[in-house]
Structure 1
Amino acid sequence: WSAEIEVPYYCLELEKALPFWKINAVRESYNLPGGTAEISSIAINGATNIAGKFLRLTTPDVRFNDYFVGADAPAFSGKVADNQFLATGSTLVKNLDKTGKNFKLELELADTDGNPVKTFADVQIPAQASSRVIFAPLALQKQGLYKGRLTLRNPRNNRVLVKHFFDYDAKFVPIKITMIDPHYRNCIFFTQKLDKVRYNIEVKLETEQLDKTKIVSGIRLPGQKTALLQKSCRAETITLFEFPVDGLPDGRLEVIAELLDKEGKIAVKTMDTIRKLPYRKNEVWRGKDMNWHVDGKKFFILASWAGCDVSHVPEFSVIMGFDRPGDWLRFSPLGFGYGKYEKNLKSGNLTPEVLEFFRKRVQDFSQKDNLFAHYWLDEPAGSGVSTETCLAITEIAREEDPYHPVVISTGRGGLISYVECGEINGFHCYPNPEPGKPMSNFMMIVNLMDKAKAFFAESPVKQSITYLHQGFDYANAGSLNSRIPSYEEYRNQDIMALTLGSIGLLHYNMREQLYPELYLGIPELVKEQKLIGEQAIIQPDATVKPEASNKNLRMLGKANEDGSFWLIAANASEDSADIEIRWPVMGNREFTVLSENRSIQPKDGVFKESFTPFQARVFTDAKNLPKLNSVAEINAMIEAEYAKRAKPGNLAWQRWEESVLTVNVSSKNKFNSSNRLNATAWLLTDGVSSGMVDKSPWGYIRSVGTYCDTTPNLLPDWIELEFHKPITAGRVVVYPFEDSLRDYEIQVKKDGVYVTVAAVKDAKGIAQTHTFPPVETNAVRLYVTANNGSNTWLYEIEVFEK
């Protein structure tokens, strides 16, 4: 079969010209005969999600500078006039090019019968600037759902540069309640100490009609006609109403607004609901400054889920689940372990049984005194759960437990589309840490978080981002050309995320025992993050903003009540730069560069600093700072661990997969959850030849790296070490797990054929050493013919010249 795919240039969101394009096509086949699965692709080595291995295409002969533009989906406001609803649309247009441009815009709405109304606008935008375009009102003859289209064109050739399709629900209600206080979930929390309920009533009528109307508004118990509190006044375009909180009963309340005509009859009315909640220990709510509060106190979210002991250090403020003892607040595992209902969620078939299952889970979890939030779903888009299905369960959680927020964690594609499905988002996009490169390219983080920030600035729905880094090695999940991120990559991206708008940090660290970057680095990192979070992030922004000579330097300035300042800065660029920073708050006060064992003396609020690509730094003059190991000291600790693993002369040791050799195997590793046959087999060459192994289901995530075949009682099994360059091999050391090996051969490849250089019967010992005359080869193979048990199970294989 063949397929022809059209990709409109305007959907690519280009920001710079591309020297070439690459493409990949992937086939995913599940439930094949024998319960197997296949993921294959046209890329090099069948890779997926690794752009470096995609096939190259010829770049089309197109002036791509025309496409360096963006436009948001339109927002609408409306009012009633002459028995028509006037819908006024607006959109933010961004010119990403280095030259000013003119654009032609068209906004269209079509009713259910396909009848369109259109409006047009022209705009001129300077280089690398943005402008909000407000269209002339569209006159809609009836209410209901409209299909919309926004088109942005190049006026020179009429070429489409941006296109948005959307739905618009036109409601002819000329009166609207906008709640000011309570501001979060329409709930009054005891620890907010809220004095008044405040809301605006907006009336969308022409001035001559307003003069003939009156507003009556108040608060009442549900279903009651008599208000507990009520006021009336002459109708204005916007009117503020306030009522005291004291005296309002706990529970649900209705806020009503009625528009009376000149005869005093109700012309139209609308209603909103609020809830006054009795006090509950550890009640959680978000302030207007987007900071979270627990029992009325500001709270920095420094959270962890998955992982082992090093992901549960005391400095974390929230962890997943209730099983592990400790003083942390907890995420409920609301969206984990729903088992038999997975198909319902993916298909959107939310039967009463499914809804009751999640309702009961929320009710049970909400009784926990140490609950912080309900962790509903990780990567809903990747799991095949639609926004509608996701939101349906979220609404159950909000209804049953107003005291605790809902957490989701979306990948790069769901940051905005699932915005209504949780108050907190553990956003992650996992830029690939490529072997051989000292620092990953974090522009994906910058671009996506910038887009989210622009979206939330316009959106009435707010979501708190708690940035989530890649605390694992994607090579063990089947990816090629990947590695564990370095300590500095973790530190830089986390701090940079805070400068880009993240209000907290969420760690997903897994199989920490495999990597010193995790079991040594994360505890050190969390100590620093707790300090930055509590003393800087949740504190008020400084009135005077810091400035820099380079626009790529993202900064966050805090001037604390104790007189200290904190300046968090990150170079959001692939280029190194010497940058002058200006911030009058600093004056001439000497300050510390956090975790670098040095200080700086500014002059009149000015100093210069050098930044490598994506490097982050924290500056503060705060006193009595806790002792933190420096970045250099932590790097040295990590390198010392790797030095222990790299035994002198071991030709098979590699720090990450494919750096020295390829490990091929006769069957998948029992602990390989990916579809790549030899994923995780490289751990046989990571230098770890002993350690704890948990045999329970999912126990491997708490274990050192081992290989266990997946063909029990079927032999022979083999493991091949295929070196990238020829070596001379004269000694091989094998480290079996629990004496699993009985009879086997050590083989080397000569002239394309394997030759046995050592044959072993009734093998014994923790480290089994085999010496033979040195042979030049590019491959060594362990060939197993008998086991003490059902499986071939090993810790490590080492190869030496002699």
Structure 2
Amino acid sequence: MKGMKMQKSAVFLFAAFVWIIGALLPAASADLTIPHHRQGPVIDGKGDDPCWQNLPWHRGFFKLGIRTAASQQTQFKVFHDNWKLYLLIECRESDMKSLVCRTGTAANDQNRWKDDSVEINLVPKQDARNYYKWIVNSAGGISETALEDDNTGTNNFKLDWSFRSGSEAKTVLNPDSWTVETAIPLHALELGGADNVWRFNIGRNRYAGKPRELSSFSPLSWPKHGLPGEFRLAELQDLKLNKFLWKTEFQSGAVSRDKTGKLTADLTVQLTNETGDFMLAGIRAGLYDKKDGLISSFTNLYPPRSFTFRKMRPVPLKLSFPANGKYTVRLAVVRADGKALSARNHVLELNYQPVSVTVKKPVYRNCIFATMPDKRIAAEIRVDPQAYNGDTIKIEFTGGGKNITRELPLKDNKALFQYDMKELPDGTYYLKCGSESVKLRKLPYLKGEVWFGEDGGTRVDGKPFVPYGWAGGVMRDPAFNVFSTGFGATRSEAFLNWFAASRKVRPDVKLITTPFCEKARTFPFKIFNYTERKNRLTAVQRELIAKHLAVIGKDPSLFCYNGSDEPEGKDNIPEWYSDVRDAVEEFDPYHPILILNEGYSEIGEYARGGDVRMPDCYVNFLEPDTSRRPLYTVSHYTRKARQYGPGWLMPQGFCWNLGNVQPPKIGRPPTFDEMRNQAWQVFANDGKGLVWYATKEWSWLYDQIPIASSYIGQEVKLLTEYIVTSPDRSLKVRTEPEDPNFQAMLKRVGNKIALFAVNTSRDPIQAKFQFENGPKLLHVLGEERTVECSGGFSDRFAPLETHVYISDAPPEGFETLRQCKARLAAARKARFTPENLIGSGPLNRQTYIDIGKGRIPENLPVLTASSQHRTAFTQNVNTLYFLLDGLRPEKPDQNSIYNAWMPQPKDRNPWLEIRLPKEAEVREFRLFAMREKGIIQAEDLAIQIRRDGKWEELAVVKNNQAHRIVIPLQNVRGNHFRIVFSKLRSGGPRPGRLLSEVEIIGAYR
């Protein structure tokens, strides 16, 4: 009898989120007020109830994308009663006979927007990452969906059509208009982190009459309804949301079959009260099939359970189902009177097995690796007492010339089989019990073999290993030990060449790469294209994986495979990735595969698709010192990833420009402290690895990112054994003021400890730690201080501060935080040369984009050139302004796609024109030439000045071999200059990096 595998886990609702909104986004004045009334209307479309009579009409709809009034206007009234939001919408229509209503009243039709319809949009949280949409057509047909940002910064959203709120809508057709009356329950919305100011919009799709007209209450910049960051702000008066803040999560349960053949799942729901108050509640659930048909229901209301704030309580749940498969449970938290407080969907896979065999040891892939010190296996056999009657059960263990049969005693319908495989030969073995058969393997040694322990930690060749590195190119810095890349080629042998080239940079390099390769003439993939991942893995795809892994799987530089990149945003099914994981496990048992999700709930939905869950969690840092998501979101994602086994994280190590955040709130790079905060949040939640995103995504341009990530790497290297091991649960933490998002974890190796503690708040905190069997003194890593410890200690945390406490003093030469930050300050200072008229230092990514659109800050020169080559990462910017950022590398590095000017390949005589903001007295030009493949292309060049409409030559350089080219001038007055390259040295790459920096030394007069 085997239980369930969770496919879509709970949505977390935290009352504590509420405080962050004030820090996250400063309060803004609302564009409209949504009043509170005690009594709602009868939903009949008429709008003649007393509650509507004294409410104002809201008018003024614009055509989408332009600030032009719609020809057919719409008006609405709105209020709430603290349980539901009510709307009365009137759509003026001069051609009522031509109303389009193809979908009629069919439930939740996804094409309803093609009818004459209205779109009601609610955005409870101001970060605008998630919102809800209801579409109602003129017949009263209603469709609803929940939308989530797809993490690309392009204002694209994933639609969840399984969302159900229990909303009502009715319409009435009048001679010159049609009206909608609707009630939307609030309990179905995710309201953790919301306050009483929401973003709100009503859109209208008009097809009666030609041409069609799409309009909106909020003026939107593009001709689309899905721009939640541009919706108007609405203040919901006297709104009380706390009662809706509940957390629901399923635990594994048992599935049984009675004598009549009826299948029943006995489940447990962990219900947590996050409302801030003592409450009485129960649950109501319905089990639905793929066609949204109700199969069974369950109510646990009387007597209601009492729930203290932040206390978790298990609630039993029993649901019958017809056959093994995947189902949706719609679970509602309800008061004793049946009124719903919260409602969420959970996707469960229910499977009945009269006898099940589960391998408990080894914990990873049912494989015994050569470098495992313990080669014992252990398996649990469970039986359904309705299907099996006996006190013992027979098992067979075969393989390697062995055929072992045992009768195991049953206790509580379970039995345990154990065997030491130390002396058995390498090979494949089978453990059989009844009709159940489980494969196990004992593997020969492979250099660089990777496996996971019971603690979820990684071992490489049997040694503890914490993957810590970057997505992007390989670096010499020993602080990083893994590098992930999207490298793709049409031949598997090309991967081997790349591995070998990487070893020349780092002999000990460990690489994360794709398990996919196909012999096509073009790249990207065709057979493995994301459009080909919407059904189960095909035989052709599986065969290509087998052939590819047979070539690359034995390379010692290979660490693991990455089989996905946010598949939920590409409409890929989880089962395809599960099939890929099974194929990788079969064809290369030595290297794990990870799965990378962006959505929180999708971590669970796609968990079966990887041995490691490594979600990317970008909190989206905003100017001046806020973030779009709370910084503690990193902790939530890490815990979710660890819930399903080994868990790593891909946090934000770059400057992200967000398409749906309105100015002046623009993206920025994380600070040094925010980098360290993110990293230690991962480890303070028992995360076992971290890969920053990404060296080629606006990161290395900002000094704090490479310096902070390298510094953290030395910390990780020092504390590898602690990070790998399981946490010591004796730790107790109290904070003043109380902060549920303060993160701390205690690790113990022998008689030594390490304690990771992170203040995710932007306020100072005093924390008190208590634990057993600690040393008398702890060293604070990198801080040149100690704390006395007697059963615990207390310490102060500045905003966003991280403290790492360890038993032993850091080794001699370990860089301190003070030294590192001094190095960072020196690096920033070095970006600016005294008397350089054009140095800008690193600019914000949005500024580079604005410059690319011609919006140049007044203090910067105007730069133009004969040509410039752009990459996928710089296609929207003017790359010439990287010549002013103060980075002057001689050879390509991690930042070379940003800090260099690359003329087009056919531009053999490139020139760069510089127009200063005002006239200056110039005495020197300094050019920093790039060297690629040992060659500096800048051979012959001249400096010119524009006078009286003509270019005059000021200085000439011939046969240059230098990286730093200093060209003195005789105190030339002017503001318009040009650098002309009359000859480029042959042999270099095309396009090649010509210059990394230009400085003009002088003074404005």
Q: TM-score, normalised by structure 2?
A: 0.64
Q: Secondary structure at the match of 2:621?
A: coil
Per-residue CA deviation, residues 34-57 of structure 1 (Å, 9 max, x unaligned), is: xxxxxxx9888999x999x75542
Contact 2:561–2:591 under 8 Å retained in 1:
yes
CA distance in 2, matches of 1:615, 1:277: 45
Q: Secondary structure at the match of 1:323?
A: helix
CA distance in 2, matches of 1:98, 1:190: 52
Per-residue CA deviation, residues 670-728 of structure 1 (Å, 9 max, x unaligned), is: 2342586326554233123x43365xxxx885466134466976999998989xxxx76
Task: Return the structure number with greater relative CO, CA threshold 8 A, min gap 6.
Answer: 2
1:565 corresponds in structure 2 to 753
Instruction: Call closer, same or farther: CA 1:760–1:593 in 2, change over 3 Å.
Output: farther
The one-letter code matched in structure 2 to 1:164 is: N
2:794 aligned with 1:608, yes or no?
Answer: yes
The one-letter code matched in structure 2 to 1:578 is: Q
Structure 1 position 175, deviation (Å): 1.7
Contact 2:871–2:897 under 8 Å retained in 1:
no
Q: Once superposed, which parts of structure 1, at least 4 consecutive aligned residues long, lie more than 6 Å away?
A: 41-47, 476-480, 658-661, 709-722, 739-747, 767-774, 780-793
CA distance in 2, matches of 1:643, 1:175: 69
2:884 corresponds in structure 1 to 685
Q: After the TM superposition, which residues 371-386 of structure 1 pair with which residues of structure 2 at under 5 Å, given as runs?
A: 371-382=558-569, 385-386=572-573
2:399 aligned with 1:399, yes or no?
Answer: no
CA distance in 2, matches of 1:230, 1:373: 38
1:653 corresponds in structure 2 to 840
Q: Secondary structure at the match of 2:769?
A: strand
Per-residue CA deviation, residues 76-117 of structure 1 (Å, 9 max, x unaligned), is: 422222322222132222322211233342222246894622
1:13 corresponds in structure 2 to 190
Which of residues 762, 778, 784 in structure 2 aligns to 1:591? 778
Q: Secondary structure at the match of 1:228?
A: strand
Q: Secondary structure at the match of 1:363?
A: helix
2:469 aligned with 1:312, yes or no?
Answer: no
1:419 corresponds in structure 2 to 607
Which of residues 333, 339, 355 in structure 2 aligns to 1:175? 355
Q: Secondary structure at the match of 2:877?
A: coil
CA distance in 1, matches of 2:906, 2:396: 73
Contact 1:76–1:89 under 8 Å retained in 2:
yes
Structure 1 position 286, deviation (Å): 1.0
2:450 aligned with 1:276, yes or no?
Answer: no
Contact 2:730–2:771 under 8 Å retained in 1:
yes
CA distance in 2, matches of 1:586, 1:143: 50
Which of residues 808, 813, 817 in structure 2 aligns to 1:622? 808
Q: After the TM superposition, which residues 516-595 of structure 1 pair with which residues of structure 2 at under 5 Å, given as runs?
A: 516-534=703-721, 536-539=722-725, 541-542=727-728, 544-549=730-735, 550=738, 551-561=740-750, 563-586=751-774, 589-595=776-782
CA distance in 2, matches of 1:345, 1:770: 60
Per-residue CA deviation, residues 121-153 of structure 1 (Å, 9 max, x unaligned), is: 234322233322211x33446556655432334
Structure 1 position 526, deviation (Å): 1.7
1:482 corresponds in structure 2 to 667
Structure 1 position 622, deviation (Å): 0.7
Structure 1 position 233, deviation (Å): 4.8
Structure 1 position 423, deviation (Å): 1.9
Structure 1 position 580, deviation (Å): 2.8
Q: After the TM superposition, which residues 152-231 of structure 1 pair with which residues of structure 2 at under 5 Å, given as runs?
A: 152-153=333-334, 158-159=339-340, 161-164=342-345, 166=347, 168-171=349-352, 173-194=353-374, 196-206=376-386, 211=389, 215-221=393-399, 227-231=403-407
Which of residues 656, 671, 681 in structure 1 aligns to 2:870? 671
CA distance in 2, matches of 1:46, 1:484: 31
1:90 corresponds in structure 2 to 268
1:348 corresponds in structure 2 to 532
1:324 corresponds in structure 2 to 502
Instruction: Call closer, same or farther: CA 1:486–1:246 in 2, change over 3 Å.
Output: closer
Structure 1 position 382, deviation (Å): 5.0
**Identity over aligned pairs, percent:** 18
Structure 1 position 516, deviation (Å): 3.1
CA distance in 2, matches of 1:547, 1:364: 51
CA distance in 1, matches of 2:288, 2:566: 34
Contact 1:103–1:154 under 8 Å retained in 2:
yes
Q: TM-score, normalised by structure 1?
A: 0.78
User: Structure 1: where are the runs of 5+ without partners?
Assistant: 26-40, 259-268, 748-755, 775-779
73-82 or 760-769, which moves further after superposition? 760-769
Contact 2:733–2:769 under 8 Å retained in 1:
yes
CA distance in 1, matches of 2:939, 2:656: 30
The one-letter code matched in structure 2 to 1:106 is: R
Q: Secondary structure at the match of 1:105?
A: strand
Structure 1 position 630, deviation (Å): 1.8
Per-residue CA deviation, residues 365-407 of structure 1 (Å, 9 max, x unaligned), is: 2222344323434444456654333333222211011122113
The one-letter code matched in structure 2 to 1:555 is: A
Per-residue CA deviation, residues 211-230 of structure 1 (Å, 9 max, x unaligned), is: 557522121359x9x94333
Contact 1:215–1:235 under 8 Å retained in 2:
no
1:364 corresponds in structure 2 to 551
Structure 1 position 241, deviation (Å): 2.5
Instruction: Call closer, same or farther: CA 1:447–1:786 in 2, change over 3 Å.
Output: closer
2:920 corresponds in structure 1 to 730
CA distance in 2, matches of 1:477, 1:564: 48
Contact 2:512–2:560 under 8 Å retained in 1:
yes
Per-residue CA deviation, residues 336-360 of structure 1 (Å, 9 max, x unaligned), is: 7763425643122655443332222
Instruction: Call closer, same or farther: CA 1:112–1:598 in 2, change over 3 Å.
Output: closer
Number of equivalent positions? 736
Contact 2:638–2:685 under 8 Å retained in 1:
no
Structure 1 position 234, deviation (Å): 6.2
Per-residue CA deviation, residues 252-287 of structure 1 (Å, 9 max, x unaligned), is: 2222112xxxxxxxxxx3222222223333332211
2:268 aligned with 1:70, yes or no?
Answer: no
1:125 corresponds in structure 2 to 307
110-119 or 352-361, which moves further after superposition? 110-119
2:270 aligned with 1:81, yes or no?
Answer: no
Instruction: Call closer, same or farther: CA 1:771–1:383 in 2, change over 3 Å.
Output: farther
1:467 corresponds in structure 2 to 649
Contact 2:362–2:378 under 8 Å retained in 1:
yes
Q: CA RMSD in A?
A: 4.6
Contact 1:692–1:704 under 8 Å retained in 2:
no
1:265 corresponds in structure 2 to none
2:431 corresponds in structure 1 to 255
The one-letter code matched in structure 1 to 2:900 is: T
